[in-house]
Structure 1
Amino acid sequence: MKDFISIADFTAEQLAGLLDRAAADKKRFKAGDLPPTCQRKTLALIFEKPSLRTRVSFQCAITQLGGAAVYLTEKDIGLGKREPVADVGRVLGRLCDAVAVRTFDQAHVTALAEYCAAPVINALTDRAHPCQAMADIMTAREVFGDLAGRKIAFVGDGNNV
């Protein structure tokens, strides 16, 4: 699958595989043994909504993997207003290797994924925050181990998962 729009787009096995890979990469990073797999790669960050943790996490990750980030705000693009979503998707798909989008409208992320040749990552919309959900599950696995059979309650903003 090219894009990461919703965790519902993946099977439980695929999600477990992603989490296993992330845990292994985290361990390798801490040991100083993670190769620069994103060398000469560019991640476009479209952030219509302000963010501290999500923005810094994405920027640090791409930098630590040898790549670079291009940060674009609502004022830079005017997604769906000044610049049609399809045009933004086509342009960024030609110039960047991946696009992370934090927007108010789930439809913008879906449309970007449709028109963008590069992978599109949902960095938060009005409907979902799949990267945060994966980070939360990864943290729970680190603390509790195998989560099979455990009951987990989420307390917080319903959009933030």
Structure 2
Amino acid sequence: MRHFLTLKDFSKEEILEIIDLGLSIKKNLKNGIYNKELENKTLAMIFEKSSTRTRVSFETGMFQLGGHALFLSNRDIHLGRGEPVKDTARVISRMCDMVMIRTFEHSMIEEFAKYSKVPVVNGLTDSYHPVQLLADYMTILEYGMEKDLVVAYVGDGNNMTHSWLMLAAKLGFELRIATPKGYEVDSEVLKEAYEIAKESGAVIKVSNDPKEAITGATVVTTDTWASMGQEDEKEQRIKDFEGYIVDGLMMCLAKKDAIFLHCLPAYRGQEVSEEVLEEHSEVVFSEAENRLHAQKGLMVWLDKQRG
């Protein structure tokens, strides 16, 4: 049995296998073929952080695979209201076939997985957002951008940045990260990525210069400057991130055929301009759709690991 908590726990071959499975399931769906690989299976979805894409993609995905998804918020279960995480894990994993958790502290999902009898999927923590990176790389493959891939990430050194670090380190492509001073990536995560990159040949560069990061890049990506739980920092972050908006002038520094990715929701006029988002909207919303398909591939793959 395997859990999906962070990409660093998976090999390059396993990551690509999951994405290829998702692409195959997507192709079948577009041809009107619904394979019920998870028929009569149940996914428990625990949300301590709300989300549009995470809920819709997992719930729809389970339905299309023949299974059922249960939405569980803090108001629906005792988790966080007196019952220890390990007890909730032992109860839910005896009743459901898989658990997806979207929460704050990464340690919470690690503890849950430790006591769970079924696969646990990280739908987002403050440290990592690995399911988003499956969708992102699926999109890169669909747009034929994987050869000589150079990804530029501009913005906050957050869970998305950490996940890009793990993906690049595992798959062996070039990743350039530009963050404002004081918003750099976690030093331990960066250290881990550098160690993994020694084997894969990945090139990882970090700086405080967004123009340097984007110049010559084939994929440009960013994220919101103030994530959920950081609302009280929003005004200060807008000031601190001045010069980090991915606008038309920034994109001109990238390769001519470069694509832009965004995990959404996007705040136009902050991390990305209206112009860039709309110019690359087909890619961005294909990326959003691919959350559905990549996660179906993941859930089928994890279910198969259970035998």
Give the counterpart letter for 1:25 in structure 2.
Answer: I
- Of 69-78 and 150-159, deviating more is 150-159
Q: Following the alignment from structure 1 to structure 2, what is the Cα–Cα distance between the partners of residues 75 and 23?
A: 36
What TM-score, normalized by structure 1, do the two folds share? 0.93
2:118, 2:149 → 1: CA distance?
37
Name the CA distance, whole Å, in 2 between partners of 1:10 and 1:149: 22
Match for 1:153: what amino acid? Answer: A
Equivalent residue number for residue 152 of structure 2: 153
Aligned 1:82-121 pairs, distance under 5 A: 82-121=82-121
Task: Report the alpha carbon displacement of residue 34 of structure 1 after superposing the two structures with TM.
Answer: 3.0
Q: Deviations over 1:108-158 (max 9, x none)?
A: 11111110101000000010010001111111111125x142101223553
CA offset at residue 35 of structure 1? 1.3
Matching residue of 1:37: 37
Determine which structure has more spread, i.e. the larger CA radius of gyration. 2
Mapped to 1, the partners of 2:143 and 2:153 lie a distance apart of 16
Structure-1 separation of matches of 2:122 and 2:51: 14
Other-structure match for 1:12: 12
- Aligned equivalents of 2:11, 2:40: Cα separation in 1: 31
The SS at the match of 2:50 is: coil
Cα deviation for residue 37 of structure 1 reads 1.2
Q: Is the 8 A contact 1:77 1:83 kept in 2?
A: no
Question: In structure 2, how many angstroms separate the alpha carbons of the residues matched to 1:122 and 1:57?
Answer: 14
Partner of 2:177: none
Which residue of structure 2 aligns with residue 51 of structure 1?
Answer: 51
- Residue 44 of structure 2 aligns to a residue whose secondary structure is strand
Q: Matches of residues 69-84 of structure 1 in structure 2 within 5 Å?
A: 69-84=69-84
Which secondary structure state, in structure 1, belongs to the residue aligned with residue 143 of structure 2?
Answer: helix
- In the alignment, the residues of structure 1 paired with residue 115 and residue 78 of structure 2 have an alpha-carbon distance, to the nearest angstrom, of 17
Change (3 A) 1:79 1:148: farther
Q: 2-side partners of 1:51 and 1:109: how far apart?
A: 17
8 A contact 1:86–1:112 mirrored in 2: yes
Distance 1:83 1:155 in 2: 40
TM-score (norm 2): 0.50
Query: By how many angstroms is 1:80 displaced?
Result: 4.4
Alpha-carbon RMSD across the aligned residues, in angstroms, is 1.5
Give the counterpart letter for 2:55 in structure 1: R
Alpha-carbon distance change, 156 to 133 in structure 1, aligned in 2, over 3 angstroms: farther
- Structure 1: which 5+ runs fail to align? none
Q: Are residues 154 and 143 of structure 1, via their aligned partners in 2, closer, same or farther at CA, if it must alter by over 3 Å?
A: same
Report SS of the residue matched to 1:144. Answer: coil
Q: Could you say what secondary structure the match of 1:77 adopts?
A: coil
- The 3-state SS of whatever aligns with 1:33 is coil
Q: Which residue of 1 aligns with 2:207?
A: none
Which stretch of the first structure deviates more once superposed, 124-133 or 72-81? 72-81
3-state secondary structure, aligned to 2:118: coil
Residue 83 of structure 1, CA deviation: 1.6
Report the alpha carbon displacement of residue 78 of structure 1 after superposing the two structures with TM: 4.4
Q: Partner of 1:29: helix, strand, or coil?
A: helix
Q: Percent identity?
A: 43
SS of the equivalent of 1:122 reads strand
Aligned residues of 2:99 and 2:121 also touching (Cα < 8 A) = yes
Distance in 1, matches of 2:148 and 2:132, equals 22
Instruction: Report the secondary structure of 1:76's partner residue.
Output: coil
* CA deviation vs aligned residue, 1:71-93 (integer Å, no higher than 9, x gap): 11112234344221101111111
